[in-house]
Amino acid sequence: MAHDDRREQKPRRIPPLFIPDTAVRRLGARVLDPATAARVTGDAMPEPTAYIGDVLIVPGIVGRSADRGLGVLEGVAKERGYAVVPQDDPSLTFATRNELLDLLDKVGHTVVRLIPLDEGDRDRRVSTTPVDAWEVLQAARAADQAAVAGIGLSHVMTASGWGQGVGWGQGVGWGQGVGWGQGVGWGQGVGWGQGVGFGPGDRIPVVWSAPPPARSKGGPVVATLDTGLGEHEWFVEGDGAERLPEPLGMPHEDDGVTIDLVNGQLDPLAGHGTFIAGVVRQHCPDVTILSVPVMWGDGVADETQVVQALAGLCLRQELALRADGDPSSAIDVVTLSLGYRHETPGAFDDEQALFRVLRGLAELGVTIVAAVGNDATDVEFYPAALASQITTGAPMVSVGALNPDRRTVSIYSNTGAWVLAYAAATSVVSTMPTTFNASRHSELLRQANPAVLPKVPTRGAPDSDDYSGGFGLWSGTSFAAPALAGDIASRLGTDQSAPADKRSERAREIVAAALGSAAKAIEDRP
C-alpha cells in the first residue's frame, strides 16, 4: 500500500504524543504537526509522529541499491542549502569480511545526515534555517516518487512499558492542541488518559520466594532489544546470557541513574531490559538471553540504532546457519518492547527501515514478537503493526496486555485488528538489576540503638528504589511481548542446527498453536 493511497478511515482517537526532554536534546527530536506539515499534492494529512530533524534512512548500502535514492536526495537537498552525508555503518566492515554484502544490501540501510552546505561555496545556496528531514523527504517524493520509495524518517522509538499519554509524558510533544507539562494535571501514581482510570504503573521492589527457573544447557536463544541487561544471578555472562556492547555513548545498566544526576533518582525506564529478560526466562527456563542495548534510561531509542542492531542480527544469523557456522549462536526469537506511531499508518512502503530488516530476520527463521504500546487506542504502533505483513519465513506476532485474570485486556493496552495476541502483562513480577539502590529512602527508618532499646533492630518502611533483592513489579505491554516470546521459545526446543526454512516452518506451527490456545483460554473464561 502506498503512502498516498490510504483507505478512508473513520476518525479515531489520536492519543497525545510525548517525548522526554532528555531525548529531545540528545537526538534533536521534533514532532510532526499535521496542520503545518509539508505534503505532496494529493497526499492525505499525516498524523503526528516524533522524528530526528536532520536524519533520513535510505534502503540498501552505498555503492549498491541505495545509490539511486541518494542521488535524488542530494539534488533536492542541495537546492535547499544542505548536503547529504552518509554515516558510518558499523556492520559494513563485518559484512565485507564475511562476504555478506549482498545480505546487508537486502536488509540494511544507509543513514544520512542533512548538514548545511559550505558557506565558502558561492555556487551553492546556503541554508539559514534548521533542516527539516520531513520537508526534504516530501520534496524528494515530489521530484521522483519511484527513486525514493522506501526512504523514510528516523523515528523516535519509545518503550511500551511506560505509557505514552496514558502513564507518563515529559518534555515536548503533541496532544490534540492541548499543551502538557510535568506537574500540570497529572502526577506519579495518579492514573490519567482522557477518561482512562488506570495506566501502566511505576515499578516497585517485591520479594521472589521461589527457586530460580531450572536451566539446562543448550536452550533456545531469545534476543531482547532494550535498555541492556543488568547484574543478576539469573543472568551470568556466558551461562544463559550474552551481552552485546552498548552503542557509543550509551551508559551501562549499572546504577540506573543517568538523567537526574543532581538528585540521583532512577531513570524512568531503568531496569526495563533486565525485567524483560526475567519474563522470558520464567516462560522458558532453558533460554539464553542475547541482550542488545538500544534504549536509554529515559525509554527512548533512535530508530537508526534499532535498525542497525537488527541488521547485525541478520548477519549473525546467516553466519550461524552456514555449513561451517556455529548453530548454538543462531537466534530463535526476537522480542521488541518499543515502537512509534507512524505519520502514514498502513503505508508499508514508508516502513522500509523496519519492515525490510524484520522480513529479513523472518526469512532466516527468526520469530519476532512485538509489544503493541500503551496508548489505550486502536491507532497502529510500529513495528508491532507490521506483524500481518510478514508473510514469508518465520512469523511475527503483535501482542497486547491482559490483566492478571488473563481474560480482560488491560485498560492501557492498544488494541485493534492489527493486534494478533494478548498475554498477561499487568502487575508482573520479574528480575531487576541488583546494583540498583538510588537516592530514595524509607519514609520511616529507625536505626538500632542498644543504648535506648537494647532488643529492637533497625526498622523501616520499604525503600522504593532499592532493588538489591533482585525483583520488582511492573505493568505494561512491554512485558506481554517477552511472555509470549518465552512461550514460543520453550516450544521451539533445542534443535539449533535446522536450516532457515525448517526453522520457519516449525515456528509457524508453534505460533499458530500458541495463538489458538491463548485465544481459547480467553474465550473459555467466565
79-92 b/e with 16+ CB inside 10 Å = b?
A: ebbbbbeeeebebb
- Give 241's Cβ-side CA count (13 Å radius): 18
Q: Which pLDDT tens digit goes with each residue over 270-321?
A: 999 999 999 999 999 999 999 999 999 999 999 999 999 999 999 999 999 9
Q: Return the C-alpha torsion angle 235, 238, 241, 243, nearest 10.
A: 110
Which homologous superfamily does the CATH classification assign to the domain defined by 204-440+459-524? Peptidase S8/S53 domain (3.40.50.200)
What is the value of pTM for the model shown? 0.89
- Average confidence score pLDDT of the chain: 86
Closest to 336 (Cα-Cα) out of 214, 217, 484: 484
Closest to 225 (Cα-Cα) out of 291, 177, 173: 291
Instruction: Give the containing element (helix H, strand E) for 397.
Output: strand 396-402
Cα 475–chain centre separation: 16
Q: Which pLDDT tens digit goes with each residue over 74-122?
A: 999 999 899 999 999 989 999 999 999 999 999 999 999 999 987 555 4
Closest to 220 (Cα-Cα) out of 285, 277, 288: 288
Cα 322–chain centre separation: 29
CA angle 10, 12, 13 (to 5 degrees): 160
Q: What is the pLDDT of residue 290?
A: 98
Q: What is the pLDDT of residue 9?
A: 53
Instruction: Give the containing element (helix H, strand E) for 430.
Output: strand 428-431
Q: What is the pLDDT of residue 480?
A: 97
Closest to 109 (Cα-Cα) out of 243, 246, 306: 306
- Could you tell me the sign of the dihedral formed by the alpha carbons of 298, 302, 306, 312, in that order? negative
Instruction: Give the C-alpha separation, 394 to 500, whole Å.
Output: 9
Q: Which pLDDT tens digit goes with each residue over 209-223?
A: 999 998 887 789 999
Instruction: Give the C-alpha separation, 267 to 492, whole Å.
Output: 35
- Could you tell me the sign of the dihedral formed by the alpha carbons of 224, 230, 235, 236, in that order? positive
Closest to 22 (Cα-Cα) out of 298, 255, 227: 298
Instruction: Give the C-alpha separation, 127 to 105, whole Å.
Output: 32
Q: Residue 308: count other Cβ atoms within 10 Å of its Cβ.
A: 22
Place of cell 526454512: 501
Domain borders along the chain are 18-156, 204-440+459-524
Which range, of 11-15, 179-183, 309-313, averages the lowest pLDDT? 179-183
Q: How confident is the model at residue 38 (pLDDT cuts 50, 70, 90)?
A: confident
Q: Which residues are 152's β-sheet partners?
A: 57
Instruction: Give the C-alpha separation, 507 to 386, whole Å.
Output: 18
CB 281 within 8 A of CB 234: yes
User: Does residue 153 have a pLDDT over 50?
Assistant: yes
Q: How many residues does the chain have?
A: 526
Instruction: Give the C-alpha separation, 350 to 393, whole Å.
Output: 22
Helices 500-524 and 352-363: angle between axes, nearest 10 degrees: 110
Task: For residues 233-245, give the mean pLDDT.
Answer: 94
Q: Which pLDDT tens digit goes with each residue over 189-207?
A: 333 333 334 456 679 999 9
Distance set, CA 22 to CA 25, 189, 297 (Å): 5, 22, 10
- In this structure, what C-alpha cell is assigned to residue 249? 555513548
Instruction: Give the C-alpha separation, 294 to 303, whole Å.
Output: 9
Share of the chain above pLDDT 70, in %: 85
